[in-house]
């Protein structure tokens, strides 16, 4: 496997930290992997799934959304819409500097974001979501009612997410409220693989059911068994990659 670290310059003037992993020889296709909410490109799930896909012949780009990990920007100034724009700019970077992504993969809110961006990524031929919410407003549950009240009253609040503090502003909540993801799923009209664990304690599997019913064929729904939301088990991560590689082979030219 070959790895390159790159910086993606965005229209907002922020540099996104990214890495692209490629097989030693020829590759089948290029995939873009969008990480989960506040997670970063180097979280175990993103790293393990990407590396397994590389072993199966894919080139994979993963990057930190603005304000996360090694990317520039302040998290408090970002929102779901800016994440979607980051995705679009990452695909444009691939198109100019490497190869346009034919496969889009997103974990948790990253999966929600790739669906939201789908109308502006014509080169993508197939989409995969892993434990993704059918409505970005699900993030309200992670923020908590007390923090939501503070944000509405004061304009911002420091929120603990996975044990780390993040400053969240009112604009973040307003942006989530304005999203219409089910409409975007209905208009996707491209192969969609929805992967979700029945025991997911962070994003209930009902979200996957909602997405599946909204999507048009060809669509597939795969249970991830006892996997947790963050896919911390290496066996689960490699299983996910194996299924993605096999499933996408039907649709990627």
- Give the model's confidence band at 163: pLDDT under 50 very low, under 70 low, under 90 confident, else very high: confident
Helix axes 80-97, 170-177, angle to 10 degrees: 80
- Give the model's confidence band at 162: pLDDT under 50 very low, under 70 low, under 90 confident, else very high: confident
pLDDT in tens, 110-147: 999 999 999 999 999 999 999 999 999 999 999 999 99
Q: Does residue 253 have a pLDDT over 90?
A: no
β-strand partners of 8: 16
Name the CA dihedral angle for 215, 221, 223, 227, rounded to a multiple of 10 degrees.
-60
CB-CB contact of 5 with 19 (8 Å):
yes
Percent of all residues in the chain with a pLDDT value above 70, rounded to a whole number:
100
Instruction: Write the CATH number of the domain with boundaries 2-136+181-248.
Output: 3.40.50.1820
CA nearest neighbour of 211 among 232, 233, 183, 238: 183
Q: Does residue 231 have a pLDDT over 90?
A: yes
- Give the model's confidence band at 65: pLDDT under 50 very low, under 70 low, under 90 confident, else very high: very high
Report CA 128 to chain centroid distance, whole Å: 9
pTM for this entry: 0.97
């Amino acid at each position: 496997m070959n790895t390159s670290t790159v910086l993606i310059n965005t229209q907002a003037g922020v540099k996104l930290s990214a890495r692209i992993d490629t097989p030693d020889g020829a590759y089948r296709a290029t995939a873009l992997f969008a990480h989960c909410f506040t997670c970063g490109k180097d979280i175990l799930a993103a790293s393990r799934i990407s590396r397994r896909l590389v072993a199966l012949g894919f080139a994979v780009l993963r990057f930190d959304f603005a304000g996360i990990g090694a990317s520039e920007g302040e998290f408090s100034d970002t929102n779901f819409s800016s994440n979607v724009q980051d995705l679009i700019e990452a695909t444009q970077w691939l198109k100019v500097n490497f190869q346009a992504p034919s496969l889009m993969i997103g974990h948790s809110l990253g999966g929600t974001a790739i669906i939201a961006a789908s109308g502006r990524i014509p080169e993508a031929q197939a989409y995969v979501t892993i434990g993704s919410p059918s409505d970005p407003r699900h993030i309200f549950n992670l923020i908590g009612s007390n923090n939501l009240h503070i944000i509405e009253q004061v304009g911002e609040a420091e929120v603990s997410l996975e044990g780390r503090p993040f400053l969240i502003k009112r604009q973040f909540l307003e942006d989530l409220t304005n999203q219409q993801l089910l409409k975007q799923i209905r208009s996707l009209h491209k192969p969609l693989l929805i992967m979700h664990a029945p025991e997911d304690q962070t994003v209930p599997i009902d979200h996957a059911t909602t997405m599946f019913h909204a999507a048009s064929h060809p669509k597939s729904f795969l249970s991830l068994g006892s996997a947790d939301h963050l896919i911390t088990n290496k066996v689960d991560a490699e299983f996910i990659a194996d299924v993605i590689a096999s499933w996408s082979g039907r649709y990627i030219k």
